[in-house]
């Protein structure tokens, strides 16, 4: 299954891959330190940084995989670290070495020679420094989802991946959701004709996550309230774009024949965080006097090179059930999925009398092969199984020495949406251009996501 150099070249610079590498970087990837003991006996050695809520999920996924070892884990929270070390030991593996000696102890983890790749699930501001340090130490990286703080941060990831030849795959689970992957197959196989427009959102009432305990956050907060909430205080933009946009980027062949070229973004007024504090902490609570920057609803319109439009909504402060409000529309029909409300298809010539069909009707034909196999093998892991699939995809690509199906250019483009929306809103909803992180290679690159039933 390991690709030889010629296959690898075909799959990258000349062919279907999206990773552009210099010869130096290429040889570095080919000599990546995966232990090759024979076809079925290969092990990938993973270090994990950050084992709070999400890092623990990622760790648990890794522990279901017999070909994954965990030599080291880092978290500044000793209780979280100890829980994680125990989980590994309880799985029958050797107890990993723990790193908890302050904010920069992760540098000691990434320097280890017995690690092939690093998974990162820390607060957003740590993602890029940790990814960069890991890649510079010769490790592939898989950061959890986030939005960048600056465009320069996105370029730093791209530059480092190109210079080191290491892979950087954002772990966006929604790309691996069953429903979203079936829609990918529908789009690719032309059920909706030529694509015109997409919609997606991150609508997640996070008020009880942003304030915990009570209406506290920051130093007095717990879990994500310790670090996530402060972004809403000072920033006004789409702070978390990738849950909706990741799958859409795959539908529209972003960075692979198409690209997002510009966006405009508009923020509603900010009310809900203040109201929540007053309701649960009273008018006299010190947090009731905070002037929150983040608008309650951020609406962004993205234009693509091929002339499609994408609307993207960010809504994390108002009371409502969770939904990514997905829609993919072409000249011959559309799919629309609002979690808990509808998951429907209208396909001209197949649906009758302008009536919606249930998504299930199309599943015998459009179940994605990755999910067919996953269901046959037994669905497992967090986020309905997508949490497992994204980690498995990363591991499989590392083992095979092929580009990860979400690469550094995808990661950089998707996280760039956050600073771009902030800039557009600050300029009164002015159009803002996306940088071309691929340096023009998007013209030749071919899609790589969702082509296999194994990754």
Strand blocks (E) in 85-139: 97-99, 117-120
Q: Which stretch binds ligand NAD (CB under 6 A): 45-53, 156-164, 250-258, 350-358?
A: 45-53
Quick one: which of 46, 61, 116, 144 contacts ligand NAD (CB under 6 A)? 144
Q: Are strands 326-330 and 333-338 parallel, antiparallel or unpaired?
A: antiparallel
Q: Does 146 bind ligand NAD (CB under 6 A)?
A: yes
Q: For residues 114 and 143, give the distance between their C-alpha atoms in angstroms, rounded to a whole number.
A: 19
Q: Does 385 bind ligand NAD (CB under 6 A)?
A: no
- Give SS3 for 347: strand
Q: Which residues pair with 43 in a beta bridge?
A: 35
Between 144 and 238, whose beta carbon lies closer to ligand NAD?
A: 144
Q: Which stretch binds ligand NAD (CB under 6 A): 74-82, 284-292, 298-306, 312-320?
A: 74-82
Q: Can you tell me which residue has the tokens 């940084």?
A: 49
Q: Which among 83, 237, 158, 206 is positioned nearest to 409, based on CA atoms?
A: 158
**Number of C-alpha atoms within 13 angstroms, CB side, residue 124?**
22
Quick one: which of 13, 30, 76, 379 contacts ligand NAD (CB under 6 A)? 76
Helix, strand and coil percent figures for the chain, each rounded to 5: 40, 20, 40
| Sign of the torsion angle spanned by Cα atoms 48, 163, 393, 112 | negative
Q: Can you tell me which residue has the tokens 């969702």?
A: 450
Q: Which stretch binds ligand NAD (CB under 6 A): 2-10, 12-20, 38-46, 141-149?
A: 141-149
The CA distances from residue 215 to 293, 405, 423, in Å, are 17, 40, 29
Q: For residues 161 and 165, give the distance between their C-alpha atoms in angstroms, rounded to a whole number.
A: 5
- Cis before 260? omega within 30: no
Binding footprint of ligand NAD, residue count (CB under 6 A)? 26
Quick one: which of 12, 32, 128, 173 contacts ligand NAD (CB under 6 A)? 173
Q: How many Cβ atoms are within 10 Å of 293's Cβ, its own excluded?
A: 16
Q: Does 202 bind ligand NAD (CB under 6 A)?
A: no
Residues recorded for the chain: 455
Q: Which stretch binds ligand NAD (CB under 6 A): 12-20, 51-59, 210-218, 415-423?
A: 51-59
Quick one: which of 213, 223, 307, 431 contacts ligand NAD (CB under 6 A)? 223
**Shortest distance, CB of residue 29 to ligand NAD, whole angstroms?**
25
Q: Does 72 bind ligand NAD (CB under 6 A)?
A: no
Name the residue whose CB lies closest to ligand NAD.
52
Q: Which stretch binds ligand NAD (CB under 6 A): 121-129, 154-162, 213-221, 442-450?
A: 121-129
Q: Does 406 bind ligand NAD (CB under 6 A)?
A: no
Q: Does 218 bind ligand NAD (CB under 6 A)?
A: no
Give every strand in the sheet of 309-315, ordered side by side: 357-358, 342-347, 333-338, 326-330, 195-203, 309-315, 298-304, 260-267, 432-433
Q: Does 208 bind ligand NAD (CB under 6 A)?
A: no
Between 53 and 321, whose beta carbon lies closer to ligand NAD?
A: 53
Between 84 and 195, whose beta carbon lies closer to ligand NAD?
A: 84
Q: Does 77 bind ligand NAD (CB under 6 A)?
A: yes
The CA distances from residue 383 to 199, 248, 347, 432, in Å, are 21, 18, 29, 33
Quick one: which of 53, 190, 282, 321 contacts ligand NAD (CB under 6 A)? 53
Q: For residues 46 and 117, give the distance between their C-alpha atoms in angstroms, rounded to a whole number.
A: 5
Quick one: which of 23, 90, 103, 152 contacts ligand NAD (CB under 6 A)? 103
**Shortest distance, CB of residue 120 to ligand NAD, whole angstroms?**
8
Q: Does 384 bind ligand NAD (CB under 6 A)?
A: no
Q: Which stretch binds ligand NAD (CB under 6 A): 48-56, 314-322, 337-345, 423-431?
A: 48-56
The binding site for ligand NAD (CB under 6 A) comprises 49-55, 74-77, 80, 103, 106, 121-124, 126, 144-146, 173, 223-224, 383
């Amino acid at each position: 299954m390991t690709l030889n150099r010629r296959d690898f070249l075909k799959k990258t610079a000349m062919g279907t891959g999206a990773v552009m590498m210099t010869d130096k970087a290429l040889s570095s990837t080919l000599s990546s330190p995966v232990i090759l003991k024979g076809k079925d006996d290969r092990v990938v050695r993973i270090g994990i940084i950050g084992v709070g809520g999400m890092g623990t999920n990622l760790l648990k996924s890794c522990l279901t995989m017999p070909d994954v070892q965990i030599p080291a884990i880092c978290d500044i929270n000793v209780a979280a670290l100890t829980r994680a070390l125990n989980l590994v030991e309880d799985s029958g593996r050797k107890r990993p070495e723990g790193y908890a000696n302050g904010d920069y102890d992760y540098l000691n983890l990434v320097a280890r020679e017995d690690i092939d790749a690093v998974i990162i699930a820390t607060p957003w501001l740590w993602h890029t420094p940790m990814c960069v340090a890991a890649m510079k130490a010769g490790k592939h990286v898989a950061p959890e989802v986030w939005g960048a703080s600056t465009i320069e941060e996105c370029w730093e990831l791209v530059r480092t991946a190109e210079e080191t030849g290491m892979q950087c795959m954002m772990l966006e689970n929604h790309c691996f959701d069953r429903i979203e992957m079936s829609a990918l197959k529908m789009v690719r196989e032309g059920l909706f004709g030529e694509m015109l427009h997409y919609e997606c959102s991150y609508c997640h009432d996070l008020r009880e996550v942003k304030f915990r305990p009570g209406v506290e956050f920051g130093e007095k907060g717990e879990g994500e309230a310790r670090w996530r909430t402060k972004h809403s205080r000072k920033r006004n933009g789409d702070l978390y774009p990738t849950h909706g946009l990741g799958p859409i980027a795959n539908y529209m062949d972003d960075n692979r024949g198409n690209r997002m070229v510009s966006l405009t973004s508009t923020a509603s007024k900010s009310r809900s965080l203040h109201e929540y504090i007053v309701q649960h902490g009273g008018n006299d609570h010190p947090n009731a006097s905070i002037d929150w920057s983040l608008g309650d609803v951020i609406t962004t319109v993205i234009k693509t090179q091929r002339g499609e439009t994408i609307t993207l909504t960010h809504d994390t402060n108002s009371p409502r059930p969770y939904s990514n409000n997905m829609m993919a529309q072409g000249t011959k029909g559309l799919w629309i999925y609002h979690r808990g409300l509808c998951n429907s298809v209208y396909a001209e010539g197949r649906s009758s009398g302008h009536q919606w069909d249930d998504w299930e009707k199309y599943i015998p034909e459009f179940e994605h092969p990755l999910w067919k196999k996953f269901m046959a093998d037994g669905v497992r892991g967090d986020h309905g199984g997508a949490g497992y699939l994204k980690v498995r995809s990363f591991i499989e690509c590392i083992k095979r020495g092929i580009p990860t199906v979400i690469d550094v250019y995808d990661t950089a483009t998707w996280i760039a949406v956050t600073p771009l929306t902030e800039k557009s809103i600050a300029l009164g909803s002015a159009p803002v251009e996306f940088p071309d992180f691929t340096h023009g290679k998007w013209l030749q690159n071919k899609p790589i996501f969702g082509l296999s039933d194994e990754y």
